[in-house]
Structure 1
Amino acid sequence: MFEDSYNRREEYQVPVEVDSEYDVKIEDQGKTGDGIARIDGYVIFVPGTEVGQEVKVKINATRRKFGFGEKVE
């Protein structure tokens, strides 16, 4: 039987949870200008941040190798 690979849900482990908040330091800048932080080596893209900032981020989404967060005021 043909399996629709586009609808298959992948299982993966990441060191963060969606909707959780973490204190991070922005270590690098991505190609589109987003700040990059790392939690246990896991990359988090954080828009509106600059290298060197220490911020609290809320995780919005995760993928196998990286996640997306937003700065919490």
Structure 2
Amino acid sequence: MVEIPDSLRSVFSATVHERDGTYVLEVPSGELSYDAVSLGETYRIAVFDAPTSEQDEHESASADRAQSDRQRESPEPPVEEGEVREVTIETVGDQGDGIAKVDRGYVVIVPDTQPGQQPTVEIEQVQQNVAFASVVASDSRSL
């Protein structure tokens, strides 16, 4: 599975064109309208294989647009206060707290945990880009 970084700004389908000895990737105008990209800036891109048929390509492009639209329309956090879930601690933050990532790379900070632990946590506080949780059950397993 491909790991999607937190810095992912946009998902769309495009065709690569050759123009005057260089290659051009056309960015849909909506990506600029929603501030996903800005003129004159440099970005890293990921390239995935194209669908095998024209129908698949149309469906894939529609799905990409729908996903991108959902992300813009509902940037609600993927967790709720009081929710209990299992997480995997991936790293430790500057303050020494464990950091887990859940849906869409959303960050959950869990004190008193270490990378590789897989505790069950209760979400205590939810903010737009981060949640804070406490361990309700430790898992003796680690990655």
TM-score range, shorter chain: 0.7 to 0.9
Q: Percent identity?
A: 40
Runs of 4+ in 1 over 6 A off after TM superposition: none
Query: Higher helix proportion, which one?
Result: 2
Secondary structure (helix, strand or coil) at the match of 1:60 reads: strand
Listed as ranges, the gaps of 5+ residues in structure 1 are 1-11
What count of residue pairs does the alignment treat as equivalent? 62
Provide Cα deviations, 1:22-44, integer angstroms capped at 9, x if missing partner: 10100010000000001111100
Which residue is 1:49 aligned to?
A: 113
C-alpha RMSD of the superposition: 0.9
Larger relative strand fraction: 1
| TM-score, normalisation: structure 2 | 0.42
User: Does residue 93 of structure 2 align to residue 24 of structure 1?
Assistant: no
In 2, distance between residues paired with 1:56 and 1:38? Answer: 13
The answer to which structure, 1 or 2, has the higher relative contact order (CA under 8 A, 6+ apart) is: 1
What residue ranges of structure 2 are gaps of 5+ in the alignment? 1-74, 138-143
Using the size of structure 1 for normalisation, the TM-score is 0.81
* Structure 1 residues 1-73: aligned runs within 5 Å: 13-40=76-103, 41-73=105-137
